[in-house]
């Protein structure tokens, strides 16, 4: 059985080390030592070391929001996988829609970053998802097929089993819109089917596939109860400890019912 993973992507927030530490402290204190649902937070690079210190002794994973595919070199402003490991990271987000659509990140680049993360033993959270225009044109499956096959190209079944996928409908990120549980489950089932066809049923059964798109305490339980949704990649609601913990609690309630 796949354990749920609730990950909080802080994006370009908060604005100070003190605020980042306070947010991490709030999540840590609220979660305690519970491990029935896996939890991770992804602060900006400059806060990683401080947040790692705050989270010491807790089961909460530390995620970076991106990485570079090369181990070192003349890449001004970039961060390598080894650097992330050195400051305590356990996870890394790759190919978030804001990087794909806002910064032109390609599937080939996502693939290179993914392989660098796996080589460094980081748990990669690889994001895929369609825009509103693509959904209205009924191209969701075509878009996902291209993103999945390009982003995970060249992986073995064992490597693929260690990847977390996050389906984020771009039209639902930061807009207040959320895919219905039925819409989200249908896409997650499509992703699971592709995994089975590409890497085998055993691997497909191991891969955690999160939903990301305006997840809140009020809608989390219904989404997380879907059979192929294995957690959430949380944006805005991750910036308030109580809201984020509410989503974690929804996951714990779902897990307690035997999912």
The residues that are catalytic are: 96, 168
Contact 111, 219 (CB under 8 A): no
**What is the token pair recorded at 169?**
């409908």
**What is the token pair recorded at 59?**
């089961």
Q: How far is residue 81's CA from residue 72's CA, in Å, rounded to a whole number?
A: 9
Separation in Å, CA 194 to CA 99, 168, 183: 24, 17, 17
Q: How far is residue 86's CA from residue 16's CA, in Å, rounded to a whole number?
A: 22
β-partners of residue 93 are: 125
**What is the token pair recorded at 240?**
């308030």
Q: How far is residue 140's CA from residue 184's CA, in Å, rounded to a whole number?
A: 12
């Amino acid at each position: 059985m796949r354990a749920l993973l609730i990950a909080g992507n802080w994006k370009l927030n908060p604005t100070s080390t003190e605020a980042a530490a306070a947010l991490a402290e709030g999540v840590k204190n609220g979660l305690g030592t519970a491990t029935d649902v896996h939890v991770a937070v992804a602060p900006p690079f400059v806060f990683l070391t401080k947040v790692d210190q705050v989270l010491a002794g807790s089961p909460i994973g530390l995620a970076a929001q991106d990485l570079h595919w090369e181990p070192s070199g003349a890449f001004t402003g970039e961060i390598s996988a080894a650097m992330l490991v050195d400051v305590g990271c356990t996870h890394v987000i790759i190919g978030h829609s804001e990087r794909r659509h806002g910064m032109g990140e390609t599937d080939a680049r996502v693939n290179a970053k993914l392989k660098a993360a796996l080589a460094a033993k980081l748990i990669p959270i690889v994001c895929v998802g369609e825009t509103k225009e693509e959904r209205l044109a009924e191209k969701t499956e075509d878009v996902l097929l291209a993103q999945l096959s390009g982003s995970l190209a060249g992986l073995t079944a064992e490597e693929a089993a260690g990847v977390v996928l996050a389906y984020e409908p771009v039209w639902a990120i930061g807009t207040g819109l959320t895919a219905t549980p039925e819409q989200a489950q249908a896409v997650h089932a499509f992703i699971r089917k592709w995994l089975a066809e590409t890497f085998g049923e055993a691997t497909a059964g191991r891969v955690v596939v999160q939903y990301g798109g305006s997840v809140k305490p009020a809608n989390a339980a219904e989404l997380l109860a879907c059979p192929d949704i294995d957690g959430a990649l949380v944006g805005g609601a991750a910036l308030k400890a109580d809201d984020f913990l509410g989503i974690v609690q929804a996951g714990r309630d779902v897990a307690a019912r035997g999912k």
